[in-house]
Amino acid sequence: MTFDAIGIAASGLTLHRKWLDAVSDNLANINTVTGTDGDAFQARYVIAQEGEGTSGVYAAGVAAGDADGRVTFQPDHPLADENGYVRYPDIDMAEQMGALIMAQRGYQANAAVVDRAKTTYEAALQIGRA
């Protein structure tokens, strides 16, 4: 049972790490500008899938955000088109910060499960030695 808990929590750690990586990419590229003739940076969203039985969770894939982004009037920008427009990613900072907090908390919770399961396993070994 303890090994199951460690395995399930480890799968949660992996999933939350991937989620943190995706949110980090999104936040790092929130102000990435492209010309209107190209695609905007596409936000990354991790798709979580439950494992079979008690095998935890895994990242089934990554969904990409809208390539159209937001077109903004900035005539002084070097990438502006002939009408003065550039393209920004359609990424909401507040949404990403909320996702960051949830991913961090999920990671911390799974790390705590691994730590407690390890402590329980070590205590069981000590009982066997006595």
| Token digits of residue 78 | 């070097």
Number of alpha carbons in the 13 Å side-chain half-sphere of residue 77: 20
Is the model's pLDDT at 3 over the cut of 70?
no
Give the range among 15-19, 114-118, 123-127 with minimum mean pLDDT. Answer: 123-127
Give the pLDDT of residue 130: 62
Number of domains in the chain: 1
For 15, residues 6+ apart whose C-beta sits below 8 A from its C-beta are 46, 48, 57, 58, 59, 106
Give the mean model confidence (pLDDT) for residues 85-109.
97
Distance, C-alpha 25 to centroid of its chain:
9
pLDDT digits (tens, 9 = 90+) for 4-54: 888 889 999 999 999 999 999 999 999 999 999 999 999 999 999 988 776
- The residue range of the domain holding 9 is 2-129
Question: d(Cα 59, Cα 16) in Å, to the nearest integer?
Answer: 9
Q: Which residues pair with 41 in a beta bridge?
A: none
Longest Cα pair distance anywhere in the chain, in angstroms?
81
The better pLDDT of the pair 45, 123 is held by: 45
pTM of the model: 0.84
Give the pLDDT of residue 126: 85
Spell out the long-range contacts of 123-130 with Cβ–Cβ below 8 A and sequence spacing 24 or more.
124/2
